[in-house]
Each structure stands twice: as C-alpha cells, then as structure tokens.
Amino acid sequence: MPKKPAPRTDDAAQDGAAGSTGATKSAAQKALEKLGLKRDIDLALHLPLRYEDETRIVTLAEVREGQQAQIEAVVTHQEVTFRPRRQLIVTVDDGTDTCTLRFFSFYGSQQKALAVGNRIRVRGEVKGGFMGRTMLHPSFRAAGGSLPTALTPIYPTVAGLPQPYLRKAVLSGLARADLNDTFAPGDLEVLRHGVGHQPLWTLRDALQFLHHPTPDVSLDTLMDHSHPAWQRLKAEELLAQQISQLQSRRERAALRAPRLQGGVGQTLHARLLAALPFGLTNAQQRVGAEIAKDMARPIPMHRLLQGDVGAGKTVVAALAAAICMDAGWQCALMAPTEILAEQHFRKLLAWLEPLGITTAWLTGTQKTKERRAMLALIESGEAQLVVGTHAIIQDKVKFKSLALAIIDEQHRFGVAQRLALRKKMTAIEGEHEKGAEPHLLMMTATPIPRTLAMSYYADLDVSTLDELPPGRTPIVTKVVNDHRRDEVIERIRGQIAEGRQVYWVCPLIEESEALDLSDATQTHADLAEALQGATRADGQPVLIGLLHSRMHVDDKKAVMGAFTAGLMSVLVSTTVIEVGVDVPNASLMVIEHAERFGLSQLHQLRGRVGRGAAASACVLLYSTGDAPRLGEAARERLRAMAETNDGFEIARRDLEIRGPGEFLGARQSGEAMLRFADLAQDTDLLAWARAEAPMLLDRYPHLAHKHVARWLGGKAEFLKA
C-alpha cells in the first residue's frame, strides 16, 4: 500500500511572485468549466502535469545550472533598474554562494517582502551566466515554516486559473468525490493479478498518491506514466472508453434502417457500372461489396471507407448511391468545402444525369431563389441525390426519404455535424419507424492506424481501398532549399511547354489573415513575372491563376474552372485546394514553406498530382529562416515525404511524430480524447479493456454504466457519432 502523505494546506501563500494576480472567483469558475471540471470526480481526475520538489532546501553551492531548486537566503541588495527595461534586481546570499533574482513585473508589496536583511525562501530554475547565478521570476515567501512532505503538483491549466486556486479546487474535489472502485477484484481478473505482473492499486489510493506523491518516488515513473498508480488510471480510462464504444455499437444495432437491396437486371447500379469509362479495381469491387452487404441489412451502416488520395473513393460512393436510389430512396453526399462539393456534383451529374437521375445542389453561398428550388426538389423527393456542403444539415433541409448519407473527407467534420446528418431521417414525423436512421458511409484519405481503430473507432466498420487504379506512375518527391527556387521555376517552364499543369501552394498563416493573403498574392505576382515568355506547345497563352480562401466564391469557381479545363497552366493557391481536387493533367506540385505543413496535409496536397498517366513530381520547398537548419520534427516530416508515397506509412509516421491527440485533431476527438492512456504505449491495457468490456456490460450493466458516467460524464454521447 502506498504511504499517504498528509494533504498540503499551505498553497495560498506559495506563489509570491507569479500567483495571486487577483482572478475573480467567477472568472476562475468559468476557467474550471472550460477545462471540463464540473463535478467532484472531474476535479479528482484532473491529474498533475508534473511536480515540483519543495520538500527540500538546497544550498546554492550544490545547485547545478538549469536545475529547479528551493533555497533559503538573506537579501543583501535590492534595486530597480531601467535598462534594458524596468526590472527589480535582488541579490540573495545563503552563506554558500549568492544568486541574483530578476523580476520584470512586480508590486510594491513584493519589493517590501524582498527588503534587504529579510530572510526568504525562493524557488525557481537556477541559470548560470556571466553575472553569476540568476533566477528569473522565482516564487518566494518568508523563510521558516514547515516544509511540505509531498511533492507539489502542477496541474494543466488555462489563462485565468492560477495554480493555487486550481490546486485547492482539485483537492476539495478529491476529498468529496466518490472514489470507491466500480468493480470488485472478483469481477475483474486484472484487479487480482494486475497487468504486466504489477498488481493494480485501488482508484482511491492511485488518486491520493498522484495528487501528492511522496518525495522518494521515482519521478520518471510518474512522468512516463508507468507507475502502478498511473496503470490503474489508464486501465480505468480505457475500460470506460471501451464500454462506451460497445454500448453505442449495441444501441445502433437496435436501430432500424431501410433495407437497400441491390436489384437484378437493368438497375441504375448496373447501368452506371457499364457506363463508366474504366473498370473497377479489385479493391473497389471488394469494398463495394462490403458496403452493399451493410446496406442490405435493416440496421444502419456505420462504415468508414479509407483509401489513399487518388484511390478512387468517389466512384465507390456513386455506386452505393445507385443502390440506394434503385431501392427508391434518397441519398445525400456532404463534402467539407464548396470546391470539393462542386467537383463531386459535376462528376456525379456527368455519370448519373444521362441515366435519368435528378440531382440537387446545396451550399451556403447559393442565391435564395436557386436554394428554394433545390429545397423543394429535395422535399418532394424529386431529387434522388443531394450533393453539397454542410448546408445539407441545416434545419430547413427536409428530405422526403433519406436512406444513405455519405460524408467525404469525414475528418474535416465535427462530431455534431455527423450527428445532424444522421438525424435527417427522423426529422419527418410519422413518415418512418421510430428510431430509424440512414445508412452512413464516411470516407477519408487519412487512414486510421490500427490502435486508433481499436479505440476511438471501435464503433466503426472499416473498408480499405489498398490499391490504386492502374496506370499511375509514382510521384517523385524532392526536398529543395528555397535558395534553389530558380531551378524550380525552370522546371515549371518545362512542364508548361509540354502542356502540363502545375500547382504552387503557399501556407496559410493562421495568425494573420492579411499576411496570408499577401503571401499568396505576392508569390503569384513573382511567379507571373518569372514565367514571362513561357510558352505552351499548343500555342495557347500561358495563364497563371490565384486562389485563396478570402476570394468570392464565384471568383474561386471561375479560377478552378479554368484550371480544370486546362486553360490555366499554373495555379498559385493557399491550402484551399487541399482536399479532393482532381485534375489529371497536373503533373507538378510545388509546396512553399513545406516545413510549416503537417505530414498528413503534405501527403494530401501531393495527392493532387499523379492522377493521370504522366510522370509527376512534388517539390517541397523549405526555408530555415534565420536558423542554420530546420527543426527535428520538420526534418522528420520532409524526410518521410521523400521516402514514401504510401498513405498508411505516412499516417503511421504522423502518429509517431504527433501523438494521437493532434493526429485526430481537436474537432474530431472533441472532449472524448483519452487523457492518460497512450495508445502507442498501452497496447496491453487496451487489449485487456477491449476483451473485458463485453463481459462487464453483460454481467454488471449497472456498474458498467456507472463506470462510464464517472469517466466520461456527459461526453459519452460524443463517442457515438
């Protein structure tokens, strides 16, 4: 059993310099809620990020540079200087050495506390330097008083929520919360035998310990979460997540959906297949069959179709839509951007209109009149297929008989948007059975690594297009220093001469929209100048277009249309072209400031070329700015890009570089993120939780629900989308 140190009570006095900035209670309360800390148990489960050791006082002589230390010393000198800026400089001496304390912001009361002759206790990082030892903005208080017996926890926090306040809130939550174990050792093998030969602690002991560990503990095991107390928490968390996923899977199995069975003979499906200018790849046939099988069942499909960029997901979606329409129901396809939605619309229209299908088109920027007409088509059921952006999920949109919802680039949508689309079927009262939902097909070019599929997406069936259509030549990727820009421009000239097309992508600088705009605009102007005199083999004029997010949608469409039609040779753009754009004649992609892009994003961008038979290339231009070389992570990303074209390998490396939180993106994971468990590391615990969840839910449904509520609270709903 762990030793339980007494709770600390001296928090408020601690942070002389940094703390007590006078946050009002209500602001702090709001900040707590922002962190999701509403219930006592939420507070108890809010665990320290790291710890500071205030249990010991060291001498200045023994402190090493760069170390966090707590000393007791006498103030020997104090002054306020104004160069290079206003600062308070205090010298202290503990008998073994002296140290300079610097404060750039300070109050009169603090100056008084630091008066010459006062004996103070100071805590902070000790730096070396040519003026001798220094501490920047250390915490301090009057010397004397007892030392704490436990390490001081430092909690993750947000602006407006000072550590001392948060610490108090957490400790009182910890004292009040129900910390009894959900399951008894008899229920769970793991509680008797532990995981990896370490017996698990009780939840109570684990939490008490992690909120105030004894100073003799190995900090490493706390930081890397391998300590038995952490094991307990991770096991609990993963169990909650697995039970919750299982619950939603079972709830979904109890829902109804129309059976969409493929017909025989001259069905739309058969006619579309026959009309396609190409035959399906084996992979497309296989996933098509998986989807068809799901849709033929009377419970809603919940399937993710993953396939690398260019793998041909659209035609799979169109064939699924055809099955749905064959059965006499409506189908909706939602895409994250207007450009992408429009492209789908055109493609589907070209395929399906000759076969007698009426398609409606919905976006946020549509004229009122057109929009009204579309809404009428959808409501009457005349439009069998509806393509659009998130405008599709607005309240005003009423389907007559929606049975299949397809979401392209699903990771771009939030949980709430996916839920809204699923609700579209039940929107019409009396029309359908209660609890009916459309079949849901989600598509993504960002494949989900296996551990994530087992956890976040346990409630999802996955189909994978693991084969590209034939005749594609692999894209050659080159990482090039920005100094060699001229060579790149020569290369563009060559491509233009051959009648090929080129993308030039500039990064979106989020902090400054204006800067972003001028960046792409400037690059466009520079390129236009550099490419003067370039010629096309067919004698057409060389056009260089510009596309960025703040252009009017009509202008965007005009530019995109000219590029798609082959009238425009070079398209300079921000990342608006990232998803789904399909111009097979484009053979060169230049990405400027490639070091600023994420790995998945680079891969998506690169996927815009290599769509036809021509040999294609991707140039990753990087700039190190004032630094001598790129940072480690940026170099890793560019190296990965140069080394592989395989989206699955890219995703694996991306997960490695970024970790699942960032990988999934805040919107996708929402608040349902695993906080403690690490999917790459805790594979044993994950496998265990996955195996135990069904038994617990069957045998102890009440306890299982209690466990999920404790860990996920209101967030459990989010896991179901």
Binding residues for ligand ADP, rule: CB under 6 A, are 278, 280-281, 284, 307, 309-315, 445, 469, 580, 582, 584, 611
Q: Quote the least distance from Cβ 22 to ligand ADP, whole Å.
A: 54
Q: Quote the least distance from Cβ 409 to ligand ADP, whole Å.
A: 9
Considering CB distances under 5 to 8 angstroms, the limit depending on partner class, which of Mg ion, ligand ADP, none binds residue 665? none
Q: Quote the least distance from Cβ 296 to ligand ADP, whole Å.
A: 23
Q: Quote the least distance from Cβ 339 to ligand ADP, whole Å.
A: 13
In terms of phi and psi (left: phi > 0; alpha: psi -120 to 50; beta: otherwise), the region of 537 is alpha
Considering CB distances under 5 to 8 angstroms, the limit depending on partner class, which of Mg ion, ligand ADP, none binds residue 281? ligand ADP
Nearest residue (CB) to ligand ADP, 313 versus 418: 313
Q: Quote the least distance from Cβ 441 to ligand ADP, whole Å.
A: 13
Considering CB distances under 5 to 8 angstroms, the limit depending on partner class, which of Mg ion, ligand ADP, none binds residue 524? none
In 488-616, beta strands by DSSP E: 501-505, 544-547, 570-573, 586-591
Q: Which residue is nearest to Mg ion (CB)?
A: 580
Nearest residue (CB) to ligand ADP, 248 versus 464: 464
Considering CB distances under 5 to 8 angstroms, the limit depending on partner class, which of ligand ADP, Mg ion, none binds residue 542? none
The type of residue at 489 is: I
Which of helix, strand or coil describes residue 524?
helix
Q: Where are the alpha helices (DSSP H) in 101-218?
A: 108-113, 163-176, 189-193, 203-211
Nearest residue (CB) to ligand ADP, 120 versus 571: 571
Residue (of 620, 581, 70) closest to 310 by Cα position: 581
Considering CB distances under 5 to 8 angstroms, the limit depending on partner class, which of ligand ADP, Mg ion, none binds residue 469? ligand ADP
Considering CB distances under 5 to 8 angstroms, the limit depending on partner class, which of ligand ADP, Mg ion, none binds residue 162? none
Nearest residue (CB) to ligand ADP, 228 versus 580: 580
Nearest residue (CB) to ligand ADP, 248 versus 314: 314
Nearest residue (CB) to Mg ion, 173 versus 580: 580
Considering CB distances under 5 to 8 angstroms, the limit depending on partner class, which of ligand ADP, Mg ion, none binds residue 280? ligand ADP
Which two three-digit tokens encode residue 532? 């003067």
Q: Quote the least distance from Cβ 528 to ligand ADP, whole Å.
A: 29
Considering CB distances under 5 to 8 angstroms, the limit depending on partner class, which of Mg ion, ligand ADP, none binds residue 284? ligand ADP
Considering CB distances under 5 to 8 angstroms, the limit depending on partner class, which of ligand ADP, Mg ion, none binds residue 611? ligand ADP
Q: Virtual CA dihedral for 317, 321, 326, 332, nearest 10 degrees?
A: 180
Long-range contacts, 75-82 (Cβ 8 Å, 24+) = 75/114, 75/115, 75/116, 75/117, 75/118, 75/119, 75/120, 76/116, 77/116, 78/111, 78/114, 78/115, 78/116, 80/111
> In the sheet where 570-573 sits, what is the strand order?
476-481, 617-622, 586-591, 501-505, 570-573, 544-547
Question: Do 700 and 198 meet the contact criterion of CB atoms below 8 Å apart?
Answer: no
Site of tokens 């009238």: 567
Nearest residue (CB) to ligand ADP, 148 versus 607: 607
Considering CB distances under 5 to 8 angstroms, the limit depending on partner class, which of ligand ADP, Mg ion, none binds residue 600? none
Q: Quote the least distance from Cβ 343 to ligand ADP, whole Å.
A: 8
Which two three-digit tokens encode residue 242? 């697995």
CA distance 486 to 442: 42
Backbone angles phi, psi at 703, to 5 degrees: -65, -40
Nearest residue (CB) to ligand ADP, 335 versus 488: 335
Question: Do 125 and 68 meet the contact criterion of CB atoms below 8 Å apart?
Answer: yes
Nearest residue (CB) to Mg ion, 503 versus 711: 503
CB-based contacts of 478: which residues, under 8 Å, 6+ apart? 617, 618, 619, 620, 642
Nearest residue (CB) to Mg ion, 300 versus 312: 312
Q: Quote the least distance from Cβ 583 to Mg ion, whole Å.
A: 13
Q: Quote the least distance from Cβ 306 to Mg ion, whole Å.
A: 11
State in Å, rounded, how far the first CA of the chain is from the last one.
41
CB-based contacts of 368: which residues, under 8 Å, 6+ apart? none
Nearest residue (CB) to Mg ion, 449 versus 580: 580
Site of tokens 């108090």: 168
Q: Any idea what DSSP says for residue 581? A: -
Q: Quote the least distance from Cβ 334 to ligand ADP, whole Å.
A: 14
CB-based contacts of 159: which residues, under 8 Å, 6+ apart? 31
Question: Do 591 and 620 meet the contact criterion of CB atoms below 8 Å apart?
Answer: yes
Site of tokens 């600390």: 8
Applying CB under 5 A, the residues found at the interface with Mg ion are 580
Considering CB distances under 5 to 8 angstroms, the limit depending on partner class, which of ligand ADP, Mg ion, none binds residue 309? ligand ADP
How many residues are given for the chain? 721
Nearest residue (CB) to ligand ADP, 283 versus 620: 283
Q: Quote the least distance from Cβ 316 to ligand ADP, whole Å.
A: 8
Question: Do 519 and 509 meet the contact criterion of CB atoms below 8 Å apart?
Answer: yes
Nearest residue (CB) to ligand ADP, 134 versus 604: 604
Considering CB distances under 5 to 8 angstroms, the limit depending on partner class, which of Mg ion, ligand ADP, none binds residue 381? none
Count of C-beta atoms within a 10 Å radius of residue 108: 7
Which two three-digit tokens encode residue 139? 């915490």
Q: Quote the least distance from Cβ 342 to Mg ion, whole Å.
A: 13
Q: Quote the least distance from Cβ 307 to Mg ion, whole Å.
A: 9
Considering CB distances under 5 to 8 angstroms, the limit depending on partner class, which of ligand ADP, Mg ion, none binds residue 668? none
Q: Which residue is nearest to ligand ADP (CB)?
A: 312
